Structure 1
């Protein structure tokens, strides 16, 4: 099932407002998206044809073109809701409650982001494969990552102002380095690369890098065993 829009996160330009009942066209468009979401679990988009996508949705080839001009536009449409799920999972990084420690917030967010990324990994894998050749998709991905970076930078600046975070590189530069680090490592996980961090270690590893870079502390487990620097 394609992820549904969450109540927070990056704004999508294609969200329909109002409470009207779905039309036949809406249902057909959703059938294309849901069919593609399932098809891409086992089949790379570059080997999928328009006929494959139309057949999966129970539509003709001409009907497919009424909703999407290319298979890459289908991927474009799926990316927004997936990114919203990742943003929601990252919420504690950006808006940590006052009563929550950085360790608890970062550990929970890292675990949730890894879980969401693993669930949608086949879509994010295809995005990573396509961004180099599809300018529209690359621009969308850059915009999404930019929103994550800006939210993280604002959080770092707030925590530095209150003395919770340690000093370091400019907040946006640090946020960009951390976000792209996470994106690359999670992407390798989705690709099942031999060089990927082991799935059992990736959440702790990402949380550790964030905590030591931003707050100068390790995870709660590392603090208990005396391994934090």
Structure 2
């Protein structure tokens, strides 16, 4: 790389570092307080950037959250191999384990972010809209997989309303992996909850009769 190219790249690298610092600041702050208590000033101070610097990259703290959820989506895509359909050498049980296990890994890696956002859904409309959009992306990936298997006669879901079924399964998975007490119980045994989720997906979509 020439000196001129190095000089041209320097501002972009600085910008990448500042954007990363802002994102990391939000992640760190969510370990300390609810999202509702975060302000642009607090985020900027933690990131070591000016408020004007924050607004150069993000319109609001919600834009940072949307950016982070985009990263989470990419992480889930990587772990699920871009939501690859079930192959001939993968049983329905293995497919359910791949999908639920990947989601569990992503939630664990991004906790407490995911936990905090799920907790704030009921009281913050913007977070709810962002998270609903994130969930819709996941649902849009899974529904065609199920519909293709139905067409081949290799899946037998408990209802013909596949999209609503997948939405219900996805929501149950999200709240369970977020550690909601109503879903995991007082012992908060996430590993046991994941095993139940795997069986739930399997039986809801395949009746639990194939590949168990």
Identify which of 13, 16, 21 aligns with 1:26.
Answer: 16
Equivalence map 1:71-150=2 (5 Å): 71-91=61-81, 94-150=84-140
Q: Check if 1:173 corresponds to 2:164.
A: yes
For 1:98 and 1:193, locate their aligned partners in 2 and report how far apart those are by CA, in whole Å: 33
For 2:181 and 2:28, locate their aligned partners in 1 and report how far apart those are by CA, in whole Å: 16
Question: Quick check: 75-84 or 123-132, which moved more?
Answer: 123-132
Any gaps of 5 or more consecutive residues in structure 2? 1-7
For 1:196 and 1:69, locate their aligned partners in 2 and report how far apart those are by CA, in whole Å: 40
More helix by proportion, 1 or 2?
2
> 1:82: Cα distance to partner?
1.1
After superposition, the Cα gap between the structure-2 partners of 1:63 and 1:191, relative to the gap in structure 1 and judged at 3 Å, is farther
Question: Quick check: 20-29 or 109-118, which moved more?
Answer: 20-29
Post-superposition CA distance 1:176-220 (Å, at most 9, x none): 221111122122359997557511212211110011111122797
Post-superposition CA distance 1:132-154 (Å, at most 9, x none): 45444433322221222222221
C-alpha contact 1:125 1:190 (8 A) present in aligned 2 = no
For 1:81 and 1:49, locate their aligned partners in 2 and report how far apart those are by CA, in whole Å: 22
Post-superposition CA distance 1:114-146 (Å, at most 9, x none): 121111121112322344454444333222212
C-alpha contact 1:91 1:109 (8 A) present in aligned 2 = no
Partner of 2:195: 204
> 1:45: Cα distance to partner?
2.3
RMSD between superposed Cα atoms in Å: 3.0
Any gaps of 5 or more consecutive residues in structure 1? 1-19, 224-229
After superposition, the Cα gap between the structure-2 partners of 1:57 and 1:191, relative to the gap in structure 1 and judged at 3 Å, is farther
> 1:26: Cα distance to partner?
3.0
| Aligned length, in residue pairs | 202
After superposition, the Cα gap between the structure-2 partners of 1:132 and 1:178, relative to the gap in structure 1 and judged at 3 Å, is same
TM-score, normalization by structure 2: 0.79
- Which SS does the other structure have where 2:112 is aligned? helix
- Which SS does the other structure have where 2:158 is aligned? coil
TM-score, normalization by structure 1: 0.74
Post-superposition CA distance 1:72-112 (Å, at most 9, x none): 33222211111222344345865122221111222233222
